[in-house]
């Protein structure tokens, strides 16, 4: 399965799409999920929410009080972040998003 | 493995002419490979076209088309019909058309098709067909939010009653209003446009054979500035509904784009009627087509025929969102997530 299809929760019929990615750009499903988690955490950590992979195929969403939820797809992440985190991320309100990193910053 | 059966949703405001259209479809041999799910047999006066009553819910028409009433759960109705097809108790139809009631929201039907754990392996979404009454359409668009929504989410806008004197008089103004609301939909006048199955029901972006054709039509609509570029602030097509296009000159990081889009539809899905886009994604061998109706994001499709396409274009039809805010939002999330 290519990252394009896996991220939006595509069904098994999307697995054939892997052939459309340039070979050099194809990540394994696990590598793609790890990258998604990294990016998600950049948005959610300032809200006290840490996201990690769970059992290879799911995501664990952990709030600042220790409450946790397991979700299956990206579309389930945001409601969980709303429930567990401090305040709400709104892509149309830049003040609710983290500040862009300065040049030379690296996020591990 | 059998190809998934496309499902078309037929919608339109009360009295728009959905049942009249269905009545015509059911009598037309070209639609013989269709099955139709309707609310009531009695509504479309089928009796004299009926060949056989398969059982209480299903009838076979002279044209070969299967017609089935929905009792309650739409997912169960589709599953039952597919099971009958597999068992050989109804003809092997290749397409399903579902009629919604005039006040119904068609989006849940699309969501059922895409997300039902059983159905998603057997059927796929096809076009949304919205029938608009040329006599009352303008008035309904002005007065009824549901009517505007039905137009905004359509892939095919079907004008009915243009043969009536009252309909013909206002048809140009109605077409202008419809194009302003949904510039990318194909406008079909039932009385002047040939409405063969290939016009009404296809091509669609989910069909591997003809998706390029449909996407090229979107792009032409954008290139012809039928959508309004975001820097002009979009255009208030009808009160609160606005359509606009965002051009993205750079190659997109797909992971970043997915996070932005999923958060946008999570937070503002009620205000987003349609998103259509063709994207130049880093690492992808071909452009990627994205397509969303409110919170329902369809699985992305990959274009086979690119014809030199190397930019990214996103078309939005929204209710009450500021186009510039949407564009800046994508830039901001990209800046936050890209190092």
Nearest CA in chain B to A99: B336
Residue A65's CB: how many other CB atoms inside 10 A? 9
Note whether A83 contacts B: Cβ–Cβ < 8 A: no
**Three-class SS state of B142:** helix
For residues B166 and B173, the answer to whether their CB atoms sit within 8 Å is: no
**B82, B122 in Cβ contact below 8 A?**
yes
CA B130 to each of CA A22, A30, B217: distance values in angstroms, whole numbers, following the listed order: 39, 42, 18
Segments forming the whole domain that contains residue A52: 28-90
The answer to whether position A104 is within a domain reads no
**Helix, strand, or coil (residue B304):** coil
Decide if A49 is inside a domain: yes
Number of domains in chain A: 1
User: Considering the domain boundaries, does residue A61 fall inside one?
Assistant: yes
User: Is A74 part of a structural domain of the chain?
Assistant: yes
What distance in Å separates residue A87's CA from the closest CA in chain B? 13
In angstroms, the CA A5 to CA A3 distance is: 5
Local confidence pLDDT in tens for the 339 residues of chain B: 578 898 988 998 888 888 778 877 777 777 788 888 876 555 555 555 554 555 666 666 666 667 666 656 788 888 888 998 899 888 888 888 888 876 667 788 888 887 888 888 899 888 889 999 998 899 888 888 888 888 988 889 999 988 887 777 788 899 988 988 888 888 888 888 777 767 777 667 666 566 666 766 666 666 665 555 554 444 445 557 888 888 888 888 888 998 999 999 999 998 998 888 888 888 887 888 888 888 888 778 777 665 566 778 888 988 889 999 999 999 999 989 986
Q: What pTM did the predictor assign?
A: 0.74
Residue A9 falls within a domain, yes or no? no
Q: Are A5 and B302 spatial neighbours (Cβ–Cβ below 8 Å)?
A: no
Are the CB atoms for B158 and B131 separated by under 8 Å? yes
Cβ neighbours, 10 Å, residue A24: 6
Q: How many C-beta neighbours within 10 Å does residue A98 have?
A: 17
A22: chain B residues, CB-CB within 8 Å: 283-285
Q: Does any domain span residue A83?
A: yes
- Cα gap B253→B269, rounded to integer Å: 22
Rounded Cα–Cα distance for residues A60 and A70 (Å): 5
Whether chain A has a CB inside 8 Å of the CB on B263: the answer is yes
**How far apart are the C-alpha atoms of B148 and B150, rounded to whole Å?**
5
**Cα–Cα nearest to B291, from B310, B315, B309:** B315
User: Looking at the complex, does the CB of residue A24 fall below 8 Å from at least one CB of chain B?
Assistant: yes
Q: Is residue A71 part of a domain?
A: yes
Residue B289 in contact with residue B215, Cβ under 8 Å? yes
Tens digits of per-residue pLDDT, A34-83?
888 999 999 999 999 999 998 877 899 999 999 999 998 888 899 999 99
Q: Which residue ranges form the domains of chain B, and what is each CATH number?
A: 5-200 (3.40.50.300), 211-337 (3.30.1220.10)
Q: How far is A84 from chain B (nearest CA, A)?
A: 16
Residue A16 lies in a domain: no
Give me the numbers of helices (H) and strands (E) for chain A, helices first please: 3, 3
């Amino acid at each position: 399965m290519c990252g394009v299809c896996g991220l939006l929760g595509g069904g098994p019929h999307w697995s054939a799409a892997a052939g459309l990615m340039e070979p050099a750009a194809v990540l394994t499903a696990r590598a793609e999920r790890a990258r998604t988690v990294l990016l998600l955490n950049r948005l959610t950590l300032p809200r006290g929410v840490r996201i990690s992979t769970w059992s290879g195929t799911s995501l664990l969403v952990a709030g600042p009080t220790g409450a946790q939820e397991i979700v299956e797809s990206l579309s389930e992440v945001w409601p969980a972040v709303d429930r567990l985190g401090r305040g709400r991320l709104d892509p149309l309100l830049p003040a609710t998003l983290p500040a862009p990193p300065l040049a030379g910053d690296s996020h591990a | 493995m059998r190809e998934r059966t496309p499902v078309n949703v037929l919608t339109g405001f009360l009295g728009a002419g959905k049942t009249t259209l269905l009545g015509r479809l059911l009598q037309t041999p070209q639609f013989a490979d269709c099955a139709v799910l309707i609310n009531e047999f009695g509504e479309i006066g089928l009796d004299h076209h009926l060949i056989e009553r398969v059982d209480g819910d299903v009838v076979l028409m002279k044209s070969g088309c299967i017609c089935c009433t929905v009792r309650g759960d739409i997912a169960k109705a589709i599953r039952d019909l597919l099971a009958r097809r597999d068992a050989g108790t109804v003809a092997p139809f290749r397409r399903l058309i579902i009629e919604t009631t005039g006040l119904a929201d068609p989006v849940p039907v699309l969501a059922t098709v895409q997300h039902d754990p059983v159905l998603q392996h057997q059927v796929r979404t096809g076009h949304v067909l919205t029938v608009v009454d040329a006599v009352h359409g303008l008035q309904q668009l002005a007065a009824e939010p549901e009517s505007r929504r039905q137009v905004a989410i359509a892939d095919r806008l079907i004008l009915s009653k243009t043969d009536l004197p009252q309909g013909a008089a206002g048809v140009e103004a109605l077409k202008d209003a419809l194009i302003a609301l949904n510039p990318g939909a194909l406008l079909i006048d039932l009385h002047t446009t040939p409405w063969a199955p290939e016009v009404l029901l296809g091509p669609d972006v989910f069909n591997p054979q003809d998706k390029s054709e449909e996407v090229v039509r979107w792009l032409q609509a954008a290139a012809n500035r039928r959508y309004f570029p975001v820097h002009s602030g979009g255009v208030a097509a009808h009160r609160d509904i606005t359509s606009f296009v965002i051009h993205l000159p750079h190659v997109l990081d797909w992971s970043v784009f997915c996070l932005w889009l999923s958060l946008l539809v999570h937070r503002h899905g009620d205000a987003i009627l349609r998103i259509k886009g063709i994207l130049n994604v880093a690492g992808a061998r071909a452009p990627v087509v994205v397509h969303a109706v409110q919170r329902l994001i369809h699985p992305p499709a990959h274009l086979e025929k690119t014809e030199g396409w190397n930019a990214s274009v996103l078309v939005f039809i929204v209710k009450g969102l500021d186009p510039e805010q949407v564009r800046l939002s994508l830039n901001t999330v990209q800046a936050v997530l890209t190092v």
